């Protein structure tokens, strides 16, 4: 029985309607323009002149009361990096005015409040509350009717319930069009927060804790917006030093420096303990240190004669060996070395 062969997975081809792989975010001037596009007061809307199928004016629509709370909500999303569900479920007791931090303990997802976050780090983290955001939240707490500890920070001004997230996204994108900036998602305000911190040298580990990412690989997308510490200087130095063999003033001669480095390395190798040990091994003392001598000092290697190192040759048909090699000099105070006559002669019968 043979199994069905599996087709190799291929990357999906991008289409025109797909989301761009590049990060979408707002710059600080663009964010200020979007905030100016949202009214900071209740707007009374005029009724329509006619209504469909009926004579006369249309009834007056309800006033727009979401402007003031949306301004603070969008500012908080850009300055804290919290998710939309975390902002809609934020309560006043989670705003620490003394430590000037915002703690994430509740989310509003699918029309329900939940204490479960996307990861363990998400539901037990806190983010710093900027001075501007603290002032805006303090001003909003005095304007809203729902400012007790159990009330929502960004509650609907009339009902006290969470704001519809679709209305938040629609009003935010409408403000982008009014401001004349590129229209992005509400979630892209998290990218605005992370890219601004990365551009100002904040460590990626800290950004990961602020955003609540369980995996550090998710935060690596912001590393391309971090300033390079020494990379630019190293690349500049690599291309401004000069060509090998030429001297360009401040740039050194790369070819001569390379040769000098190799010569210095060879000189160090000659003086290394390994080299000295090999010299002492082939010294006339037979590798033993002579009393009163310094084993670390360099030892001159004697020139070996042909008789010292030549293997005894066998005379044809007789088995006689050649003249024996002279014995090596024996140092004073050491036992007699083995004479060369003890070397066994070559016996053809043993081969």
Catalytic residues: 83, 118, 187, 190, 213, 222
Nearest Cα neighbor of 111 from 189, 167, 163, 171 is 163
CA–CA separation, 210 vs 86, rounded Å? 13
Name the CA radius of gyration of the chain, rounded.
Answer: 42
CA–CA separation, 300 vs 66, rounded Å? 94
Render 302-326 in DSSP notation, one character per residue: PPPPHHHHPPPPBPTTT--B-PPPP
Structure tokens at 214: 């369980």
**CB within 8 Å of 220: residues ≥ 6 apart:** 204
Which phi and psi (to 5°) does residue 47 adopt? Answer: -70, 160
Quickly tell me which residue has 């409040």 as its tokens: 113
SS (H, E, C) 161-217: CECCHHHHHHHHHHHHHHHCCCCCCCCHHHHHHHHHHHHCCCCHHHHHHHHCCCCHH
């Amino acid at each position: 029985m043979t199994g069905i062969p599996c087709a190799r997975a291929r990357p999906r081809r991008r289409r025109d309607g797909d989301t761009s792989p590049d990060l979408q975010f707002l710059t600080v001037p663009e964010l200020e323009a979007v905030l100016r596009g949202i009214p900071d007061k209740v707007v009374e809307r005029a009724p329509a002149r006619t209504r469909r199928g009926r004579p006369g004016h249309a009834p007056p629509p309800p006033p727009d009361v979401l402007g003031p709370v949306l301004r603070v909500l969008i500012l908080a999303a850009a300055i804290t990096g919290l998710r939309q569900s975390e902002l809609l479920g934020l309560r006043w007791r989670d705003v620490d005015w003394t430590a000037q931090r915002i703690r994430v303990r509740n989310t509003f997802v699918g029309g329900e409040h939940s204490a479960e976050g996307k990861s363990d780090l998400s539901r037990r983290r806190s983010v710093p509350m900027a001075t501007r955001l603290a002032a805006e939240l303090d001003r909003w707490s005095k304007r809203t009717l729902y400012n007790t500890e159990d009330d929502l920070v960004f509650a609907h001004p009339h009902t006290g319930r969470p704001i519809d997230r679709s209305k938040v996204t629609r009003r935010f994108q409408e403000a982008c069009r009014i401001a004349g900036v590129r229209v992005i998602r509400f979630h892209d305000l998290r990218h605005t927060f992370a890219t601004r911190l990365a551009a100002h040298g904040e460590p990626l580990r800290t950004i990961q804790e602020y955003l609540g990412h369980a995996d550090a690989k998710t935060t690596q997308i912001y590393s391309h917006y971090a300033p390079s510490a020494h990379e630019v200087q190293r690349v500049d130095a690599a291309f401004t030093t000069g060509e090998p063999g030429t001297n360009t003033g401040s740039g050194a001669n790369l070819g001569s420096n390379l040769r000098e480095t190799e010569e210095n390395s060879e000189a160090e190798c000659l003086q290394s303990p390994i080299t000295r040990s090999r010299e002492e091994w082939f010294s006339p003392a037979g590798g033993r240190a002579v009393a009163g001598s310094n084993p670390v000092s360099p030892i001159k290697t004697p020139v070996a004669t042909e008789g010292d190192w030549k293997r005894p040759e066998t005379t044809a048909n007789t088995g006689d060996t050649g003249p024996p090699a002279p014995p090596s000099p024996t140092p004073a105070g050491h036992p007699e070395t083995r004479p060369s006559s003890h070397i066994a002669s070559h016996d053809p019968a043993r081969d």
